Structure 1
Amino acid sequence: MCRTIEGCLRYAQHHQAAFRTIVTGGVGFDTQVQALRDAVREELIATIAEGAYGHREIPLLARLALLGWLSGVEGVTLDWLNHPEPARETVRTMLARMLRHTLDTIGELVPECPSPPPSVRAAP
């Protein structure tokens, strides 16, 4: 998962205008940008679920928790782009740990989605 987070942060850092447009929906309401953003979010949630649980379909509560984490990633990244510190590596580590805690919370609340062992990565 750290590679995926690193790729997202690197993309955001090098393509700030595009990242901001995709995450915030652009100027006004652009249905194409929103559709792209929603498709990317759904694919990321499915990829995390597959890595963590071995299947892409998960109960609604688990999906909501992962969507919350992903929304947090977007918000943190947007704010981080406005500040030279902390280093990208530190932000990546923080986001990866937040995902671990999200997966643990899902495991506590959704019996069908037990928390993966700490040695198992959530996704590539």
Structure 2
Amino acid sequence: MTAGSEQETTRRPAGGRGEARRAAILDAAARLFADRPYDALPIDEIAEAAGVAKGLIYYYFGSKRGLFLAVIESATDALNTLAEEYDELTPVDRLMRTLDGFLWWADTHRSAFHTIVSGGIGVDPEVNAFYRRSRGRMLAAISQGLIGASTPRPALRIALEGWLSFVEGATEAWLTEGDLHRDEVRDLSVRALGGVLQAAGATDPDSDRPA
């Protein structure tokens, strides 16, 4: 599918009935994309599940691709908001809460998660750019929670980038193999971060330390 093959304009309803219909479409699409590959899910089926005419999907989201992006955006916004809640929890507890949310979403939206991190529609430059923006926001929130700054020094920034790639890869392996419990994957990721932080400190002794 090329970027110009479908209308890409996304419309936001003013409220009331329009907002409810848009929410119903998003909810139905999220459920269907949870275990169906993007290319295998016809837009007619999404419309039927949402109880709306197919034309409304094009009206609100521009295309199936636009709808898929909206589903992912809604989920990543929720995860990023969770990561950005700098409350009374310790940095480790905040991190574990964020990882719990990340793993829960990946587990309940397996097909969409696989599509994002492994290719599929993710090779589309616009979709990939959206993924990179969302990933950058997550990294900034993790850095802020750990060291009190969203823009760490280069060694720590690169280390955190690599660590998040580890988390995504470990999550993909866990979903495929299923031989660990979700909590074990979370704890493994936390321990891996400890090693990453040590390595960043060894590379750059002036690197920021977790608060």
CA–CA distance in structure 2, aligned partners of residues 105 and 33 of structure 1:
32
User: Out of 64, 67, 72, which is 2:161 matched to?
Assistant: 67
Judge conservation of contact 2:143–2:150 (CA < 8 Å) in 1.
Answer: yes
Instruction: Name the residue aligned to 2:129.
Output: 35
Task: Quote how far apart the aligned CAs of 1:38 are.
Answer: 0.5
User: Out of 163, 178, 184, which is 1:84 matched to?
Assistant: 178
Instruction: Name the residue aligned to 1:103.
Output: 197
Deviates more, 1:90-99 or 1:36-45: 36-45
Matched residue type, 2:160:
L
CA–CA distance in structure 1, aligned partners of residues 134 and 173 of structure 2:
20
1:54 aligns with 2:148: yes
Judge conservation of contact 1:106–1:113 (CA < 8 Å) in 2.
Answer: yes
User: What TM-score results when the alignment is normalised by the length of structure 1?
Assistant: 0.84
CA–CA distance in structure 2, aligned partners of residues 32 and 25 of structure 1:
13
CA–CA distance in structure 1, aligned partners of residues 206 and 134 of structure 2:
25
Instruction: Name the residue aligned to 1:13.
Output: 107
Deviates more, 1:57-66 or 1:12-21: 57-66
Task: Quote how far apart the aligned CAs of 1:115 are.
Answer: 3.0
Structure with greater contact order relative to length (CA < 8 Å, sep ≥ 6): 1
User: What TM-score results when the alignment is normalised by the length of structure 2?
Assistant: 0.51
Question: CA RMSD of the aligned region, Å?
Answer: 1.7
Task: Quote how far apart the aligned CAs of 1:28 are.
Answer: 6.9
Matched residue type, 2:186:
R
Who wins on radius of gyration, i.e. which is larger?
2
> Percent identity among equivalent residues?
38
Task: Quote how far apart the aligned CAs of 1:59 are.
Answer: 2.1
CA–CA distance in structure 2, aligned partners of residues 69 and 84 of structure 1:
21
Matched residue type, 2:102:
C
CA–CA distance in structure 1, aligned partners of residues 128 and 206 of structure 2:
31
Task: Quote how far apart the aligned CAs of 1:84 are.
Answer: 2.2
CA–CA distance in structure 2, aligned partners of residues 28 and 17 of structure 1:
12
Judge conservation of contact 1:106–1:114 (CA < 8 Å) in 2.
Answer: no
Matched residue type, 1:34:
N
Task: Quote how far apart the aligned CAs of 1:88 are.
Answer: 0.4
**1:21-75 residue CA offsets vs partner (Å, 9 max, x unmatched):** 1212424721222012101221121112111211111222221111110111111
Deviates more, 1:22-31 or 1:77-86: 22-31
Judge conservation of contact 2:115–2:122 (CA < 8 Å) in 1.
Answer: no
Matched residue type, 2:125:
T
